[in-house]
Structure formats: C-alpha cells, structure tokens
Amino acid sequence: MVEFSLIVVLLVFLLFAVLQVAALFYVRSVAGAAAADGARYAANADVPPGEGADRAGQLIRQGLGAGMADRLPCTGGQLSDPASGMSIARVRCRGRVRSLLVPIGAFVTVDVTGQSLRDRP
C-alpha cells in the first residue's frame, strides 16, 4: 500500500506537468494566431498598426478570456523590409502567464510576433 501511495503522488505530479505544458502551448498558439491576424489586418485594411494590435487583443479576449487578454498586451508598429524596402505591419503580444506547478507567484513569459507586408505603400 505504501508503494501505491508513492507512485500515485508521482503520477499526479506528472499529470499536472503535462496539463501545464499543454495549457502554455495553447495560450502561445492562440496569441500567435491573434498577432498574425492583427498584423494582416493592419497591413491590408489601410489602418494604423495600432489598430492591428487592438484587433489582436480582441481575438485573445475571445479565445482566452478577458483576464488573459489583460496579461498579454499587444503593441503595433511599422517596419521597413531591408531587402525590398516595402513597409511591414508588425504586432507583438508579450506578457506573463501564471504557472500551475512552480511555487506561488511564478510566471512564464509568452512573447509572440506577427508580421505582414503592406500591399500598398
């Protein structure tokens, strides 16, 4: 019976570790897709890059909830492609997500960027 108790503790810890990694990958995937969509929106809808960041924030709010959207703020900007000289819309979402397994107050940083070439100068 003692061996069973020791094994169950290890298996529960392993289960929570797998759930933590899956949750972090999901958050990163949703944030990455939102940043890419926000960059495409800013590049092709004739709007300032900041509106692409707002759109990315709205998509994160829809996909992950308001609390997570507040912890992952997005910023927009405009760059120039050095090779072609074309304008690039860039949306970056960066924030810290609370970890389930690490001691209280520990955070994991999520940093994703989406870029898209502007069709028009």
Closest alpha carbon to 31 in 89, 81, 4, 71: 71
Closest alpha carbon to 91 in 73, 71, 70: 73
Tell me: the pLDDT tens digits for 81-97?
888 888 899 999 999 98
The number of CA neighbours under 13 Å toward the Cβ of 115 is 9
User: Which range of residues forms the domain containing residue 7?
Assistant: 2-117
Tokens of 98: 């609370």
What pLDDT is attached to residue 104? 58
When divided into structural domains, the chain yields a total of: 1
What pLDDT is attached to residue 32? 96
What pLDDT is attached to residue 99? 77
What pLDDT is attached to residue 76? 94
Is pLDDT of 105 > 60? no
Strand partners of residue 74: 93
What pLDDT is attached to residue 121? 56
What pLDDT is attached to residue 26? 93
Locus of tokens 């970056």: 92
Tell me: the pLDDT tens digits for 94-103?
999 887 766 6
Tell me: the pLDDT tens digits for 27-60?
999 999 999 999 999 988 778 888 999 999 999 9
Q: 32-62 in b/e burial notation, b at 16+ Cβ within 10 A?
A: bbbbbbbbbbbbeeeeebbbbbbbbbebbbe
pTM, full prediction: 0.84
